Amino acid sequence: MSKLWGGRFRQGLDESAKLMSYSLDVDCQLVTYDLLVNRAHARALNAKQILTDDEFEKINACLVDLDQAFHADLDGMLGDDEDIHSCVERHVTAALGDLGKKMHTGKSRNDQVVTDVRLFCKDACDAIEGQLLSVMEALYQMAVTHLGVPFPGFTHMQTAQPVLFSHHLLAYFEMFNRDIGRIKHAFDEADVCPLGSAALAGNNYGLDRYLIAGELGFSRITQNSMDAVADRDFMLELMFANSVIMTHLSRLAEELILWSSPIVNFIEIGDAFTTGSSIMPQKKNPDIAELTRGKTGRVLGAVTGLQHIIKGLPLTYNRDLQEDKVLLFDSVETVLITLECTAKMLPTITLNHQVIDDQIKTGYSLATEVADYLVKKGVPFREAHDITGKVVLDAITQQIGLEELSLDHLRGIDARFEADVFDYLTVDAAIGAKNLVGGTALSQVTAQLEQIKETFQW
């Protein structure tokens, strides 16, 4: 079959122009969706008797057969076609002759491709949500396994206050739970059927767009044909959601990289997600976590790239939009594999408890407990903060912990110190004191885990 356009041209495209403009190697990923779109459109043509019942059945059967053929041998089914739409139409016409040429009646590649991509985005959202839940479950299971284990909390990468390790993990759980919301929103934005908009103005055949939307599983239809073929906001929504997911994954990966360094030595990542060095046999490199950081840049760049493609386009369709799928597909593929690896890597992590316990005691992480103790004795917080700073300075000078200072020494700094101050100078007491919703106290973290278990049925 000749290409879908060309009647008014005296010669074909230059080979270099073909290389630049043909997109089959990219949009062949849409073949399943393109076949579904052609079937739904053919059914709408049949409803208007533009296709007879017999003609529809033949086209429908051909498209079903092609779906099996493409799945069995995708490369063998692809030819020197401009895109997947012309490839499918070529096969239908080869099988059905002039009847195949009727299939494109009342639609354009403009509304066809955006419908294909919306279907792809909906499936991608479902897949990403599933992988997000796998990561969240892995974090939940780790939090349950290590419930009660103290861990140093940081601000500015400086020792701050002790927390429960489970509390730290559940911070990431909260991030990914918000990502679920963004993905659901992206699904909703994609769940609008543009088919029937044709090139830009609608079609001349009065096709039932609600019938088409129902056939394809869309919940609603677009309301403006020009916007319908030009809109890529739904792609931006998904790609932005992906960029936030990757940002969260990258933050988690950075901590795993830091914690697994022999210098810190808080954790060890399992062999299945680390690699060695070609020259230094002692090395165990956290490559999957590092790749997570690196791949985040690609996903962040993809959403920015699509914004740059769209920003200067007049209505309606412009060929620039062919470049959108390269960015979309890479964004989705990268997020899915990174989520999968993270969900599988987390359960392989083991904690070096003694190292963690030793490090909690460094950096005077109990200093705030001293200030809060004084506040409970009636000292204004700002004054208590200043007094505690002097206590810390004396401990630093003597190179001892706060709990090692004598009561007499403390009373020499401020007479309001009493013997019960030492009840506050333990890691367990510091953690237990944060007993409010969202706090790191064991009772609060346990309650949060119970709520997660109830919500997600894990």
Three-state secondary-structure class, residue 205: coil
**Token reading at 80:** 């020197």
Spatial distance between the Cα atoms of 269 and 274, rounded to a whole number of angstroms: 7
Residue position matching structure tokens 């510091």: 430
Give the amino acid at 133.
Answer: L
Instruction: Provide the pairing of β-strand 158-164 with 267-268.
Output: unpaired
Three-state secondary-structure class, residue 283: coil
Biggest alpha carbon–alpha carbon distance for the chain: 101
Burial 405-425 (b: 16+ CB within 10 A, else e): beeeebeeebeebeeebbebb
Q: What is the separation of C-alpha 106 from the centre of its chain, rounded to a whole number of angstroms?
A: 37
Neighbour tally for 253: CB within 10 Å = 25
Spatial distance between the Cα atoms of 202 and 198, rounded to a whole number of angstroms: 5
Which of 261, 277, 353, 443 is catalytic? The answer is 277
Three-state secondary-structure class, residue 163: strand
166 is catalytic: no
**Token reading at 39:** 């079937």
Do residues 302 and 245 lie in contact, with contact meaning Cβ atoms separated by under 8 Å? Answer: no
C-alpha count within 13 angstroms, C-beta hemisphere, residue 132: 28
Neighbour tally for 393: CB within 10 Å = 12
DSSP letter, residue 279:
S
Q: What are residue 315's phi and psi, to 5 degrees?
A: -70, 140
Q: What are residue 332's phi and psi, to 5 degrees?
A: -65, -45
104 is catalytic: no
Spatial distance between the Cα atoms of 216 and 37, rounded to a whole number of angstroms: 7
DSSP string for residues in 248-272: HHHHHHHHHHHHHSTTT-SEE--GG
Which of 16, 156, 278, 406 is catalytic? The answer is 156
Spatial distance between the Cα atoms of 269 and 351, rounded to a whole number of angstroms: 9
Residue 220 bridge partners (DSSP): 192
Do residues 370 and 421 lie in contact, with contact meaning Cβ atoms separated by under 8 Å? Answer: yes
Q: Catalytic amino acids? A: 156, 277
